[in-house]
Amino acid sequence: MPVLLLGPIVVTFVGAMVGLLYVGIDRILVARMQSRVGPPVVQPFRDVSKLMMKETIVPGGALRWLFQFSPIMCVMGSAVLLLYIPLFGQTALFEGSGDAILIIYLLTIPSLALVAGGFASSSPYASVGAQREMVIMIGYEFPLSVTIVSLAWRITQVTEANAFSLATMGQYPIWDLVGPLGFVGAGLLLLALIAVTPGELGRIPFDIAEAETELAGGMLVEYSGRNLALFYLGNAIRGFAVLSLFIALFFPYGIGAAVGFTSTAAVVVADGLFFLLKIFLVMFVAVAVVRSAMARFKINQASVFYLMAVTLVSLAGLLLLWTDMMIW
């Protein structure tokens, strides 16, 4: 009972702290790659604390209850994600109560909270941003689903355990199950997930729903004070959750036992630090490098990119996994 009560609070707090830290690191990395100084690492923490002290303004004409509830739904939806994803090399807190299919559904909640808040604000800028967010979300959900289903299908060929469980995926990493063709197929699925990640997080070049130069902040244009801080915090937690899901799907390896540690505490610490390193590397490749190298897509370009290019890549990965299984 204490675990069920305190566990989610601890996991949410740790997820928020690590999420904000990685936002700060990401901003510094992008600034350096663009020959800028950039803000300090702790700037996201300062932003949240400052916003918490600011006045919260509800615009006239807004649907007040939905406008106020949307930031809470964003934080809650992001926090619930962390309860079903393995963190720091350990099993998920609610392992056995949900699997990857549930996670796919939960991933939509923070985005839907942003959409609901945008529509509820009565701002034309926010409404356009909300419409764009829905289009992008429809685009990246399909290749994400194909990627997860492909991995689970391959695992069903070697075990009768729940293949959609992230714990099972951790026991049977895709790279250990395939031959040469399957390795290429898994690489294509990995590439598809790398493409989905910045869209899922609303980062450049898929920050079309925010687009400060066009929509003055998009869905969040009317938000201020604590409500804006909650959205900021929710997005940081979701970022940590998405990167952790990336690790759970493709790189669920630990390092403590591999290097010969015999103490349980030493293995836990080593695996936790290794997990943070993997998160950093994924963030650098899938978020920071892409942000620094590309400009914002148009909404039609983003939609075609996900529904055509990334979907075809993920389906090609599935086909190669099937061909590899038939041969090997």
> Which tens digit of pLDDT belongs to each residue from 233-271?
999 999 999 999 999 999 988 887 777 777 778 888 888
Contact at 8 Å (CB) between 226 and 58? no
Contact at 8 Å (CB) between 174 and 180? no
pLDDT of residue 66: 86
Contact at 8 Å (CB) between 75 and 237? yes
Q: Give the C-alpha separation, 225 to 189, whole Å.
A: 40
Collapsing DSSP to helix, strand or coil, 125 comes out as helix
pTM over 0.85: yes
To which residue do tokens 């985005």 refer?
111
Domain membership of residue 72 as a residue range: 2-327
CA distances from 90 to 115, 174, 245, 290 (A): 33, 19, 13, 30
Token readout for 191 is 């590439």
**CA-CA-CA-CA torsion for 216, 217, 220, 223, nearest 10 degrees?**
-50
Contact at 8 Å (CB) between 146 and 152? no
For 117-163, what is each residue's pLDDT tens digit?
888 888 888 888 888 888 888 888 899 999 999 999 999 888 888 88
Q: Work out the end-to-end distance of the chain between its first and last CA atoms, rounded to an integer number of angstroms.
A: 47
> Could you give the number of structural domains in the chain?
1
